[in-house]
Amino acid sequence: MDTFVSWPDAFSPSAVKDAYGDSLCGYCIALEAWRRGLDVKVREPRYNKYFISSEEKTLAFNKSLLVQDGNRIRKLSRNKHKVKEILADNGVKVPRGEVFGAEAGQEDALSYARHIGYPVVVKPLVGSLGNGVFTNISTDDELRRYYEYLRDEMKESSVIVESHFAGSDYRAFVVGDEAVAVIKRVPANVRGDGIHTIDRLIKKKNAFRRLNPFLSKGLIKKDREVLDYIQRAGYDLDSVLPEGEVLFLRGKANASAGGDTIDCTDQIPRKVKDAAVLAVKSIPGLQHCGVDVLFDEVSEEYCILELNTRAQIGINMYPVEGEGRNIPKIIVDHYFPESVGSSVKFSSRIAFSHQRVRNALKGGAIDEVSLSPFPRLSNMSRRKFIFSFSDVSPDAASDRLARLADRHGVFGFVRKGAEGRVEVVAAGARKRVRNFQSKAVSQLGFAKEKETKWRHVVKNCFECQ
């Protein structure tokens, strides 16, 4: 049976496609603000630094993080153990653990693990994306191996050893007084169909993930961990997995490492949501944040693992199952309540070009891109045309159409089609689009072979693709 999945219409793949990857979260927030008529200035091509302004205030963001007090919160959040101590002092359930700095020896960590009892988790004091996190360690030998790896291979000066909590991995996203979205993260896996090899199933899964704006950059890589999991299950890459059998390929559930994401916002118990809110409120000045939670669905016990102040909001927007939540809207609502309900007409049909912003900033010639205001239109038309020509090259035809679009205030794009043809998408006020089409025929001498309605998002510029 097919699983239900939906993503926010305003941030469809066609709207955000050129921002897939590291820029996605910041771009979506900036796009939401721009569509409301707020002023947006970008200083870094991956949205590590951008500003949103209304008539009342200007706020600085680093991807999804509100930058304030000299980036105090971001600096604090990188010390996972310090944050955990603050959470515990405020009554938040956290796993018991200790930091072992550069002066501590391996035997100190082993002695502590025996004291709190196995299984344990070992991880860097500072880190992200699950890098260097080893869970469910049950013996001294395992702990020695992973401890040495963190020290010698990853060059980590400070390492955390803490109790392992058996539960499913969840990410809650808190804004203000509410956990507005909760996602369950499932380790990378494939499901057998009795026909295809495991290698082919991984390729099919990755092809599916490439269609997802957030997961497209978190493909399943056939690295040592994946190969070990396959071997321990009694298979190899050329094995055909029986129909319906699920083969897990990793222990960690990180989406960046190929994990699946399932929206559980409406299913997770209220007490878990409340705990996530309490965790965020425990940090003075922190108003929104991603909260990593381990939750046992049977006992309904839980613990808070850590806070992610610069969380990837795409994980809650683009699940593989369930309803994606419109996090950019919720964030802009929270910080700019004066803009609620002020989205410009036709706003979800137009996006600004991330590619142009990125290209302008990457060269270093300019320090800041100030986005042009959202187009003010009383009506809007989006049409796709196929024009044919015979006396010019495709490049020349595209260039002429681009200049014609600029003169008529039309945005969209032109791209090469079949021989002697170009495909054009023109958007803007209905009269301007009609005039553009008419002049392409009467002035440029092109023949209009086909005209259809364009149903996808267009950028606020005219591009030659």
pLDDT tens track of the chain, all 465 residues? 467 899 999 999 999 999 999 999 999 999 999 999 999 999 999 999 999 999 999 999 999 999 987 778 888 888 888 899 999 999 999 999 898 988 888 899 999 999 999 999 998 887 666 678 888 899 999 899 899 889 888 888 889 999 998 899 999 999 999 999 999 999 999 999 999 999 999 999 999 999 999 999 999 999 988 998 999 999 999 999 999 999 999 988 889 999 999 999 999 999 999 999 999 999 999 999 999 999 999 999 999 998 999 999 999 999 999 999 999 999 999 999 999 987 767 789 999 999 999 999 987 789 999 999 998 888 899 999 999 998 889 999 999 999 999 999 999 999 998 889 999 999 999 999 999 999 999 999 999 999 999 999 999 999 998
Cβ contacts of residue 345 below 8 Å, gap of 6+? 377, 378, 380
- Given a contact cutoff of 8 angstroms between Cβ atoms, the answer to whether 294 and 160 are in contact is no
The answer to whether the Cα torsion of 111, 299, 252, 185 is positive or negative is negative
pLDDT of residue 450: 95
pLDDT of residue 154: 87
Q: Count the Cβ atoms, other than its own, within 10 Å of residue 274.
A: 13
- Given a contact cutoff of 8 angstroms between Cβ atoms, the answer to whether 270 and 246 are in contact is no
Same fold, 96-163 and 168-321: no
User: DSSP letter at 316?
Assistant: H
Residues in the chain: 465
C-alpha span between 166 and 9 (Å, rounded): 36
pLDDT of residue 6: 96
Helix (H) or strand (E) holding 202: helix 198-209
The hierarchical CATH code for the domain 381-464 is 3.30.70.100
Cβ contacts of residue 363 below 8 Å, gap of 6+? none
Q: Which CATH number fits domain 96-163: 3.30.1490.20, 3.30.230.10, 3.30.465.10, 3.20.20.70?
A: 3.30.1490.20
C-alpha span between 463 and 465 (Å, rounded): 6
Cβ contacts of residue 299 below 8 Å, gap of 6+? none
Q: Where are the domains of the chain?
A: 13-64+327-370, 96-163, 168-321, 381-464
C-alpha span between 352 and 11 (Å, rounded): 12
Q: Flag whether the pTM goes above 0.85.
A: yes
DSSP string, 406-422: HHTT-EEEEEE-STTEE
Fold for 168-321, please state it: D-amino Acid Aminotransferase; Chain A, domain 1 (3.30.470)
Distance of CA 265 to the CA centre of its chain: 17
CB-count exposure of residue 194 (10 Å: 0-12, 13-18, 19+): exposed
DSSP string, 343-394: PPTTGGGEE--HHHHHHHHHTSS-S-EEPPPPP--SS-EEEEEEEE-SSS-H
Cβ contacts of residue 351 below 8 Å, gap of 6+? 15, 16, 31, 457, 458, 459, 460
